[in-house]
Amino acid sequence: MYTPVRERLARSTPPNNGTRDHAKDYRTPVRDRQAARDAEQYYRIRVRPSENFVRFRTQDVGRSQLVIGMRKSGTWDMQTWLIPKNEARVSGNQLMIDDEIVQDAIKGPITRVKGDLFRARPRPKTER
């Protein structure tokens, strides 16, 4: 479940024990700063809503990244694709992707929601 930033910062701030005030060292965890920098370099294509999942992991797929989520039932499924901005281009309100792996996993047009966030539908699973 997603924890708001305010709660994470409150948990990471050490108690004041009469020594120097180190609270400003704990305001922004390194992980959050890195995530903010990485977010500027990618287009995010949301395939399924995050409310359907309880845990997340990332997998490197070529130059793109795939965010997979675990459902309450224990099954894993694709939630979001992170596509480098130099691997795709925006045409109107649609995203055109050069990566064939991502094109095979997504069905139909990729439409803009806002900013660098796009929405698409997953391709149905086929038995092999």
Residue 93 is part of which domain span? 41-122
* Angle in degrees, CA 66, 72, 76, rounded to 5: 30
pTM for this structure?
0.65
Judge whether 31 lies within some domain.
Answer: no
In a domain, 80, yes or no: yes
User: What's the structural domain count of the chain?
Assistant: 1
Residue pLDDT, tens place only, 38-77: 666 888 999 999 899 999 998 888 888 889 999 999 999 9
Alpha helices in the chain (DSSP H): 5-12, 30-39, 100-105
User: Residue 112: inside a domain, yes or no?
Assistant: yes
Residue 22 resides in a domain: no
